[in-house]
Amino acid sequence: MTEPEPKSPNELAQIRTDLAAGRTLMAADRSLMAWIRTALSMDSFGFTIYKLLTEFAQKGAALPNAETPRNMGLFLTGLGSLSMIMGTLMYWQTLKELRQLQPYRTWRPTFIVAVLMSAFGLFLFFGIIRRVL
């Protein structure tokens, strides 16, 4: 059996750089998934509170203010939407910096889910504002 030829220091440095960039990309994916989880929790909790308090108000429960269900829903869905947009922008910036070292596909599955979640959160937010939902 023949032994593989030893790699030059430049080749080893390039391999290590590629591996480090890959690890950074995976860390960015994990961070964006954490943003997605947080935003999904806030959006769903805000919508649930909005619907639940609206039902209570329709059944005659005493609320501190007639706009309480709407305000609570707007606050939580707005916070979830804002956090999703901020997380997506941070991820985009990280990909932009990593592309200087190594080319990566921009439309990664995590990024697609983040864009969809941003649109979903904005839909919920404006649906509550317009009282469509």
Which tens digit of pLDDT belongs to each residue from 38-63? 999 999 999 999 899 888 888 888 87
CA distance 56 to 65: 12
CA distance 92 to 71: 31
Angle of helix 109-129 versus helix 68-98 axis, rounded to 10: 160
Q: Can you give the residue range of the structural domain that contains 73?
A: 9-129
Total domain count, the chain: 1
**pLDDT values of the chain reduced to their tens digit, one per residue, 133 residues:** 677 787 787 787 777 777 887 888 899 999 999 999 999 999 999 999 989 988 888 888 887 888 888 889 999 999 999 999 999 999 999 998 888 877 878 788 999 999 999 999 999 999 988 877 6
Per DSSP, which regions of 25-99 are E strands?
Answer: none
35 burial (CB, 10 Å; 0-12 / 13-18 / 19+) is: buried
The answer as to whether 77 is a domain residue is: yes
The answer as to whether 2 is a domain residue is: no
CA distance 96 to 106: 9
Q: Are 83 and 117 in contact (CB under 8 A)?
A: no
The answer as to whether 64 is a domain residue is: yes
